Amino acid sequence: MLAYIASRAALADACQLIDTFGDDASFEAALRAEKARDRGNVVNFCHWRQIERVIVTLASNEPVGTVH
């Protein structure tokens, strides 16, 4: 899976969660997405789901996508 990063702010959010929550960063992003969904905020739901996927990608030691 290749993570899409929509903006520099999205990457900054992912890095901030990693710095704050360490190994639990993706769980925190998922929790934030769930809260946004419960409030009916589709934009924030999609943002935090994207951040969750970015965190998983950043935490992986495996190459993702084409390796040159």
pLDDT tens for each residue of 15-42 = 999 999 999 999 999 999 999 999 999 9
H/E run at residue 11:
helix 8-21
What pLDDT does 66 receive? 74
Can you give the pTM of this predicted structure?
0.83
Does 1 score more than 60 pLDDT?
no
Domain assignments of the chain as residue spans, ordered by start: 8-59
Average pLDDT over all residues of the chain: 89
Residue 33 in contact with residue 55, Cβ under 8 Å?
no
Does 64 score more than 80 pLDDT?
no
Distance of CA 38 to the CA centre of its chain: 18
Higher pLDDT, 42 or 54: 42
Write the Ramachandran bin of 10: left for phi over 0, alpha for psi from -120 to 50, otherwise beta.
Answer: alpha
